[in-house]
Structure 1
């Protein structure tokens, strides 16, 4: 997120929260041994297929140039974003790529503001994924906020995949982060994905974020069309929902890029693909030039020994 460097504390809170909006929760992290029973997984698969049928018209006709539906909303305590999409990947391929926390670290690092990712084990024995997020892409990793997520595969059957990440606390008045991915097979070659997230914030953070978006971030827009400009061009949603939608799309594109690149793809090839995908929506997502983005990611890999 672009913003001035020297701002008073409320503005810094707003910037930090803006970067982190793509991760949130409204429930405590589940224990790693509480995966749904097969009957529950089957019901969840049926529910996701019903969602696909219900959103068919929006998937077929939208402004994304591909079958995607993006929803955002303000909740009583925070914000929530959901992306639904048809992807050209069979479910077994998606499950193989996204069942391991280390794979999630690889794909999450495509986002320009994510500077480090670590996997480990909690004191209770569950899987953990810790993401280091900077408030602006050119800030050093030493200034990153840490988000320690409890990671679990909630369900992995031949017909349905569900992965959840939860973090009870975040920086600067944010809390209850949740990230979730679910996928169901449509046929042997296509699947339907749902990527969702939510988070809570206190009143001070909410007011600071809204104030930032009304001044320095007033030109930032999301994807939902709320009307037409005087010249007939689409008038896109702004404010906190616009912020949610931008980050939702960035993170969905990390998923899609990772799936499309295939196992063992060189990191820079993935990075170039993610950047190109984001640049398809320059009004919403352009933040940095390609050379700068690649240099940042190269620095991250060299610092942490993350490979190619």
Structure 2
């Protein structure tokens, strides 16, 4: 890349990573048939299935080439992003594949700016997963932010998973992180996911980020089409909502890549899959070439292996 991104641009990429941590909660193996929700289905499970029905047309005609719906909004104090997706994995498989916070370090470090991840015991017996994030992919680990997140399992049943994750503060004037993940089985082969993240920022941070996006980051766009250009091409949303949308999609693709290639011996396959998926949307997500990305991930693995 020709210039270093604003610190807030790189930092906000990490926010969606928190939602990935949450899925490490254990979920019972059985998955119900979602075509006709059982009478015993919990209210949250029924609500999520209702959301799937409400979004069914958008999912069927998604511009992503797969059943994914991406929404974003500027809240009164910050930003919020929501991704809804139908995935070709039963709920039981998702649970088995992602069980354990250590697996989520493998998930999160697929992102090019995430250079290390460590798990430790947190407050009140909860695990804390600390992500080390650099502002630009070629910066040294010594310059990384340390981002600890703590999660709470709100619901874990055979039919529904709900996890809430919060962090009181972060770097550069950001605060009050609120992250949730929900999943429900649609049938024996498919599941419906909803993950949402939001955070607050003060007026100075908001103005600084907007200034960056209006100047050095003026070429950055999201995925929502707001009109057409003079050439008749899609005109994509920009600014803060564009930033949120890029981050949400990066981390959805990270999750998707790990589900497709679980296991300790599948790291290279997962990395290649994540990179190829991101390159399907070069206007929004392209940053570096494949060789550069793979070399950085090999360096991270060798460094962490030496430390152990």
TM-score calculated relative to the size of structure 1: 0.88
State the shift of 1:4 in Å. 2.6
Q: Give distance in 1, aligned partners of 2:153 and 2:306.
A: 24
Per-residue CA deviation, residues 15-71 of structure 1 (Å, 9 max, x unaligned), is 45443443679xxxxxx9xxxxxx998211111100000000100112100000000
SS at match of 1:22: helix
Maintained 8 Å contact 2:102/2:119: yes
SS at match of 1:105: helix
Report the CA distance shift for 1:212/1:61 in structure 2 as closer, same or farther (over 3 A): same
Mapping of 1:289-304 within 5 angstroms?
A: 289-304=289-304
Report the CA distance shift for 1:13/1:290 in structure 2 as closer, same or farther (over 3 A): closer
Q: Give distance in 1, aligned partners of 2:7 and 2:283.
A: 24
State the shift of 1:164 in Å. 3.2
Instruction: Show the counterpart of 2:51.
Output: 51
Report the CA distance shift for 1:130/1:292 in structure 2 as closer, same or farther (over 3 A): same
Q: How many residues align?
A: 289
Q: Give distance in 2, aligned partners of 1:256 and 1:155.
A: 22
Please list every run of 5 or more consecutive structure 1 residues that lacks an aligned counterpart in the other structure. Answer: 6-10, 26-31, 33-38
Q: Pick which of 48-57 and 114-123 moved more.
A: 114-123
Q: Give distance in 1, aligned partners of 2:171 and 2:17.
A: 12
Maintained 8 Å contact 1:24/1:176: no
Instruction: Show the counterpart of 1:217.
Output: 217
Alignment partner of 1:266 is 2:266: yes
Report the CA distance shift for 1:53/1:306 in structure 2 as closer, same or farther (over 3 A): farther
SS at match of 2:187: coil
Q: Give distance in 2, aligned partners of 1:283 and 1:115.
A: 24
Instruction: Show the counterpart of 1:184.
Output: 184
Q: Give distance in 2, aligned partners of 1:205 and 1:224.
A: 24
Instruction: Show the counterpart of 1:105.
Output: 105
Instruction: Show the counterpart of 2:73.
Output: 73
SS at match of 2:16: coil
Report the CA distance shift for 1:110/1:23 in structure 2 as closer, same or farther (over 3 A): closer
Report the RMSD for the aligned CA atoms in angstroms. 2.3
Q: Give distance in 2, aligned partners of 1:168 and 1:24.
A: 13
State the shift of 1:249 in Å. 0.1
Maintained 8 Å contact 1:23/1:198: no
Report the CA distance shift for 1:3/1:45 in structure 2 as closer, same or farther (over 3 A): farther
SS at match of 1:180: strand
Mapping of 1:181-260 within 5 angstroms?
A: 181-260=181-260
